[in-house]
Amino acid sequence: MKKVFILKGLDCPHCSAEIEKEVGKLDGVSESVVNLMNQTLTVNVSEHIADKVGEDIERIVHSHEPDVEIVEQKEEKVVKKETDEETKKAVLKIAVGAAVYAAAIVVGGLLKLPLPVYLAILIISYIILGGDVILKAVKNIIKGRIFDENFLMSISTVCAFIIGEYPEAVAVMLFYQIGEFFQGLAVKRSRRSISELMDIRPDSATVIRHGKAMIVHPENVQIGETITVKPGEKIPIDGIVTDGISMIDTAALTGESVPRSVKKGDEVLSGSINMNGVLTVKTEKTYGESTVSKIIELVENASSKKAPTENFITTFARYYTPAVVIFAAFLAIIPPLFFNGVWADWLHRGFVFLVISCPCALVISIPLAFFGGIGAASRHGILIKGGNHIEALTKTDTVVFDKTGTLTKGVFNVSKTVTANGTSEKELLETASKAESMSSHPIARSICERYPSDDSGVTSFEEISGFGIKATVNSSIVLVGNEKLMEIEKIDYVKNEEFGSKAYVAKDGMFLGCIIISDGIKEDSKTAVSMLKKIGIKRTVMLTGDNVKTAEKICKELNIDEYHAELLPDKKVDLLEKLCTEKKTKGKVIFVGDGINDAPVIARADIGMAMGGMGSDAAIEAADVVIMNDEPSKIADSIKLAKDTKSIVIQNILISFIIKGIFLLLGALGYASMWQAVFGDVGVALIAVLNSMRLLKK
C-alpha cells in the first residue's frame, strides 16, 4: 500500500537523497521516493508494517534533519503554504552575526583590542552564525553519519581557529550561511512558482439541489449534478454548459492567453476562469477525475521521477564527499610528517581544500534545473510527468502522429452523400443515424448531428473496432462502416474515391449508399511539422485508420515524410514496434495521439504524448507528456524546452567541475586563501542555482 508523508521544512537535496535511500532499505518497504520540491516522502509498504513504518521514517528523517516536521498525508489533499517565518529568522541570524563580526573587525582595528577580547567577539559571531551547523555535525557524527556539508564547514572553520585564522574562520561561516540562505530562497521560489500553478484549484462549487443553490466543496459534487459559475469564479468540475454565454480564461490549463467563448452545449474544463456571463453547467466527471485535479497531481508528482543525470549526481556526491575529506586529511598531514612541511601551512591548505570541495552546487542546482523545466512547461500548457522524460525528449529523432484529433481537428462534418439502389438521401441518413445513435465515435456523432435521431427501435448494437458498427434497427440488420466491413459482410457496394472519410451503409444485405465525412486540418499542424524539422527531427510519420487517398493528401499538405493508412489499432502498435527497431541511432521515438485506441501505442513509444484538451482519459494516463491545448506545435516547444533544460544542467555540471577543479588545485598548491575558498564553494553554488532559475523565466 502507498503512504505519503509531508516533510515540512525539508530543503536539503543531499539529506533528501539520504532519507530516500535509508527509508527504501526498511523491511517491508518496496519503494521510497522523496519529492524535494513538494516536500513529500512516498513509500510503498507492506500492509503488516504499515502502522509502524511512520516511527521508523520519523527516526531516519530526524537523524538527518532534526527540525523537519513529519505529517502523514491522509486521503484529503493538504495544501501547503510557505510561511516567511523561517526566512525572517535566517535573515535576522545572518544580520546579527554579520554585525558582531563587523564590530570585531572595525572596533578591533581602531581600538587595538586585546587578543582575548577580540577573539571572544569573533567567537560570539561564529556561534551566532554557525552554532546550528556545528550542532548538526555533532549529532550526525554521534549517529555515524560523518561526511556531509555540516561536517565539512565545521571541521574547516574550527581548525582555522586552531591555526590562528580567526577572521577567515568566521567569514567562511558567514558566507556559507549567506549561500545557504540564497540556495534555500531559490528552492522556495521554484516551489512557489509551481504553487502559483496549483492556485487553479477551486475552493468551492455552487450546486443546485432541490431547487436551491448550495455552496459545497467540489469533492462533494456528483456526476450529472447542475452547478452555476458566476463571473470571476473558477469552474470547479468538468462539464457541459446547459445555459448561459460567457468568455472563459483557460491560460492556467493550456497556456493560451486568448479567452474563448462558450455557449450552451460546449464543454468547459475545471480550473478555467469564467470572465463575464453566468454559466449553468452539468457535471460530467467527479472532482477527482476532473482536469484541474489531474493537472495538479501530474505537476506535484513530476519532480519525483528523476532523470538519469539527477540519479548520477546523487550517487556521485555520496562517494565524492568522503573522498575529498580523506584527500584533505592526506594533504594536511603527509607533507609535514614525511617531507618536512610546515604544519600550519599544510593544515591551512587542507582546510581550504575542505571548504572548496563541498558539492552543494551540483546537488542543489541539477534537480532545480529539471524542476524549473517542468514548471516552465506547465505554464505553457505542456505537462511533462518527470525529469526522466525531459532527458528522453532531448534525444528525439522520430515523431509519429496519429491523424484524427492530433493533426486534424477531430470535428467531423457530413460533406456529401452518395445514394445507391434507389435510396433517398433522407432514408440513407435516417438509417445510418439510427444505427449510430449508440456510438460515441466522432464519425457517428457527425452523422447524428446531420440527422438527429434516438435509439428507439435499436435492439442490438455491436461496435467492431477498426471496421464500423452492426446494429439491429426495427428488426433489420444495418451496417455502417468502412470498405473492409462491406467486404467482410459480402455486401455488393460501390467504392467511393472522393477525398474524406467514408461511411458505407447497408441494410439487410443491400447497399444504400455512402456518407462522406470531412475533418479539417488544425491551423498549426503545418507549422508544427516545419518546427520539428527546424529543430533537427529526422523523420516524421503519420498513422491512420483512414483510407490511403486521405492520408496521402494530408501528408503532402503538411510535408510529413511518410504515412501508413487503413490501420487497425493493433496494427499501429506493430508498426510503432517496427519503427523503433528500424532506428539506426539511439534516438527516441515520440508517438502523439488522443483517442482511447491510441493508449497502447502511446504506452509503447519511447515518449508518449497525448492531446489533453480533447484526448481520452486512457491516452492521458498512458502518456509521458500531455499537451493541454491540443496544438501540435507544442510538440516542438516541449523538445526545445527539454533541450534548454539539459543545456543548463550540462552548464551547471561544467561550471561546478571546472571552477571547483581550479580552486581545489590552487588550494592544494597553497595559492588559494580562505576567502577564495568561500567563492569556490558558495559562489559556484549561487552561480549554478541562478543559472537554473533562468528556466523559470522561459
Residues contacting 187, CB < 8 A, separation 6+: 11, 36, 37, 364, 368
Residue length of the chain: 698
CA distance 502 to 519: 11
Sequence letter at residue 317:
A
Q: Are 49 and 27 in contact (CB under 8 A)?
A: yes
CA distance 134 to 123: 13
β 212-216/205-209 pair status? antiparallel
User: CA distances (Å), 572 to each of 126, 238, 528, 544, in order?
Assistant: 67, 31, 22, 8
Report H helices in 382-422: 387-393
Q: Given strand 539-543, what is the order of strands in its sheet?
A: 382-384, 625-627, 607-611, 588-593, 396-402, 539-543, 562-564
Report DSSP letters for 351-371, one per residue. HHHHHHH--HHHHHHHHHHHH
C-alpha cell read off for 82: 510557505
**Helix/strand/coil for 391:** helix
Q: Given strand 267-268, what is the order of strands in its sheet?
A: 212-216, 205-209, 226-229, 279-283, 239-243, 267-268
Give the Cβ contact number of residue 247 at 10 Å. 15
Give the Cβ contact number of residue 451 at 10 Å. 19
402 catalytic? Reply is yes
CA distance 228 to 97: 56
Q: Which helix H or strand E contains 504, and what residues bound it?
A: strand 501-507
β 239-243/267-268 pair status? antiparallel
Tell me the CA end-to-end span of the chain in Å, nearest whole number.
38
Q: Given strand 476-481, what is the order of strands in its sheet?
A: 408-419, 510-521, 501-507, 476-481, 468-473, 458-464
Among 404, 370, 399, residue whose Cα is nearest residue 387: 370
**R_g of the chain, CA atoms, integer Å:** 32
| Block residue for cell numbers 504499515 | 50
CA torsion angle 318 324 327 333 (round to 10): -120
Report DSSP letters for 657-671, one per residue. HHHHHHHHHHHHHT-
CA distance 444 to 435: 9
Residues contacting 618, CB < 8 A, separation 6+: 596, 599
Report H helices in 514-594: 525-534, 548-558, 569-582
Residues contacting 662, CB < 8 A, separation 6+: none
Tell me which DSSP letter residue 78 carries: P
Beta bridge partners of 418: 514
CA distance 173 to 159: 13
Catalytic residue, candidates 402, 519, 630, 637: 402
Beta bridge partners of 29: 45
Q: Which helix H or strand E contains 125, and what residues bound it?
A: helix 115-142
| Chain centre to alpha carbon of residue 696 | 13
Active site residues: 402
